[in-house]
Structure 1
């Protein structure tokens, strides 16, 4: 009935010797042995071929190895699903580096063409005294959401009087039109701030390079879009020489400080980083650049237009929390931002009511995720007392060197690595592969089929 395999001595059914139906049990039994003899999982092969007490030992060992495989597989799946990452840091040298955008603001937003502005007041309100003109302008500056307006010097009665005069001064103009008249047409300009600009040893026209830009709570400033530094010598620095602006609204003295805000290629600017440059000082602002490349995940970073720049999200959230939620309006110089779209401009009286709280609201409650791919800058500002008169109000801005750090976020387990490690676990503990697993499934299905068929024949 049976022939013998010359390699391992196991019986297998011979077609010529298969007898009647009563021998089918032996046939199925032998077929099972035949599958076990060729089974790629070596422990399972040993269990099926061993006819002694060693079968218990091999069975226990098989259970342990399968358990170890399952455990380490679960660990690998958990690591892969939790998106664990590591950071790769490298330092690169470049022939040039793009500077961040530079915003320069007078500390006090009070530089105007006073003669023209005061004449417009008199034409619309009537003959005002010098004090009334100043009070009305302070009211308007504060009502536009700008700090250092001098509002604290006014009494409640003077504020009420200025509010009534403001309505007459506004007339049939919109809030935006009056703001444009005072700040854009007759406010501070580039030629009131900068005297000379030098880059890489070459003097250039400051007012062709700098353009007007508004900074939150600070008012009308000037902005220099990012330019390249192409060397590290003394002459490769960006040197700015300033003009001391007047201060006729708050005090009779000229202003003694400019405020620098550093940004990126996007227009939004938040409260930080900022630096105060004094008139009697020679300032130096050293910078180091860092390129951050994070994996695009919503939990840690974002790539939407709302958070395109480092300050974009913070600025939008500040407007949302301090203006939109309590007042449902925005400031006249912030009406183009995403969160301000479709909103009206706040009336100055609304801003006056919350003015003190608004000026100190520098934090936001809502979380801001930064852009996944961005440039970060590290600054070190220092001042030296000017030795010579021509050194007054001069500032050098430069990269210490043209090297920059690259921080790249890398997945610890990629999909291909995950598949390889899963395969490694299976080979290490139970000596199997994908083909082996397919063979096991086929073996189990055949066994189940034979078992059902056997039951049905009975």
Structure 2
């Protein structure tokens, strides 16, 4: 990573001229690209007169100033300037690996609306508990339950407060002695659309598959009851030979489908984790042919990289987003959770299910995916970062009208990996202290930097200098000269003249 020098804008690389003359002289142009201005020697932060090379521009985001300040070197001492930028990392494409089989991405198919239900069975149960009522009243109560379960695409603005109270009373009468979770299970699981109704046919190449064996029911945030490809489904041949072909039927028979809410199927691309967020997704239109091709990339980043995380909530593609949305929008403000995540996500097992009236009254906030103050460090907020070890499946989609003459289905999808291979990317450290010593030693004519004998020789040299210095001190201050002539005391007295 190239960090702009002090005085350069991190985005546009334009010079910010300082206000003081002493600081301004530090940016005087020099003839040498690598030379620091002479007048800036007394400054604590010194900057090259002009950049050595072009700084890559990043115009999509602005770096945090506090984070950027960590990379400013303290050039007060020469050795600090020389060691500046000793360690650096980069993303490096290591190789492309050929494999015999590929784990398929988690394809999740959902009707656009959550009103794919067995209405005849629901009408009978409604009349048995409420008494005589027309189908329009029952439809209104069912739409009230769909909105009160936290599913999107219900126009709740047409209901006044009196209408909501009336619908809630009818719901409570219909529910009788059942709990909120039991009523939800009765409507959406026991009387929801079945797998054999949703899937028309499935193939893997020319091999016929049982759709209900490779797809299992799951609930998607705000969408409703969907079907998800099992995690152990593998592609064992290339492209057309093993592509999975899926034909779907329309199961949206409720009153939510209309001129502004047309018949569609939503396809989500998930991973091995249960949480499926609102993105990435694609809409499949009625009687369209859709071709998906995937390319898999496996990324390995350094564990201490601040741009990735090892936390469990960050390992899935949508795990962190679903957790934050659920905690910030539903659980903490309302002290309850949407019923469709009960039994699916372990962190809401002990949270009670919300009453439909409570969710209907807060429907605008629940269905909005905009989280205000998302990066504020509140207790229930968890910073979302990509996992340091992750698998990404990149998709290319082609769509055209389906010109088949016989339509026994409503939607058609074909998907595959073009080749049985994946791209491996790993983040490596280009320079480390050991590598720096090795490179320095190689340029100095040493063998693999500083060897063991080099350190032994250095220690012996230091000890030799210490012994020589200690001997000089001893001879000068603590020893007697051996060549001094001793004169007898009698001779000294005789030779001294006596004063009279």
The residue correspondences of 1:73-92 to structure 2 (distance < 5 A) are: 75-76=82-83, 79-80=86-87, 84-92=89-97
- 1:384 maps to which residue? 400
Is the CA contact (8 Å cut-off) linking 2:239 and 2:416 kept in structure 1? no
The residue correspondences of 1:261-410 to structure 2 (distance < 5 A) are: 261-297=268-304, 299-335=306-342, 336-361=344-369, 365-366=374-375, 367-390=383-406, 392-410=410-428
Is the CA contact (8 Å cut-off) linking 1:73 and 1:422 kept in structure 2? no
- 1:417 maps to which residue? 435
1:145 aligns with 2:163: no
The separation in 2 between residues aligned to 1:206 and 1:404, in whole angstroms, is: 27
The residue correspondences of 1:174-323 to structure 2 (distance < 5 A) are: 174-226=179-231, 227-251=233-257, 256-297=263-304, 299-323=306-330
Distance 1:446 1:224, change over 3 A: same
- 1:113 maps to which residue? 118
Q: So what's the TM-score if we normalise by structure 2?
A: 0.70
Query: Which structure 1 residue ranges, 4+ long, deviate > 6 Å from structure 2?
Result: 252-255, 425-432
1:170 aligns with 2:175: yes
- 1:438 maps to which residue? 459
The separation in 2 between residues aligned to 1:337 and 1:100, in whole angstroms, is: 21
Distance 1:317 1:233, change over 3 A: closer
Q: RMSD over aligned Cα, in angstroms? A: 3.1
SS of match in other structure, 2:340: coil
Aligned residues: 388
Distance 1:189 1:387, change over 3 A: same
Is the CA contact (8 Å cut-off) linking 2:129 and 2:173 kept in structure 1? yes
Deviations 1:117-152 (A, max 9, x none): 222223333333322211111111101110123434
Q: Which has the higher contact order (CA 8 A, sep 6+)?
A: 1
Distance 1:91 1:115, change over 3 A: same
The separation in 1 between residues aligned to 2:90 and 2:349, in whole angstroms, is: 38
Moved more, 70-79 or 119-128: 70-79
Superposed displacement of residue 255, structure 1: 6.2
Is the CA contact (8 Å cut-off) linking 1:136 and 1:162 kept in structure 2? yes
The separation in 2 between residues aligned to 1:338 and 1:370, in whole angstroms, is: 21
- 2:5 maps to which residue? none
- 1:21 maps to which residue? none
Superposed displacement of residue 269, structure 1: 0.8
- 1:61 maps to which residue? none
Instruction: Report which of the two has the higher share of helix.
Output: 1
- 2:17 maps to which residue? none
Is the CA contact (8 Å cut-off) linking 1:427 and 1:433 kept in structure 2? no
Is the CA contact (8 Å cut-off) linking 1:76 and 1:418 kept in structure 2? no
SS of match in other structure, 2:121: helix
Distance 1:274 1:443, change over 3 A: same
Superposed displacement of residue 385, structure 1: 1.0
Distance 1:247 1:156, change over 3 A: farther
Instruction: Give unpaired runs (5+ residues) of structure 1.
Output: 1-69
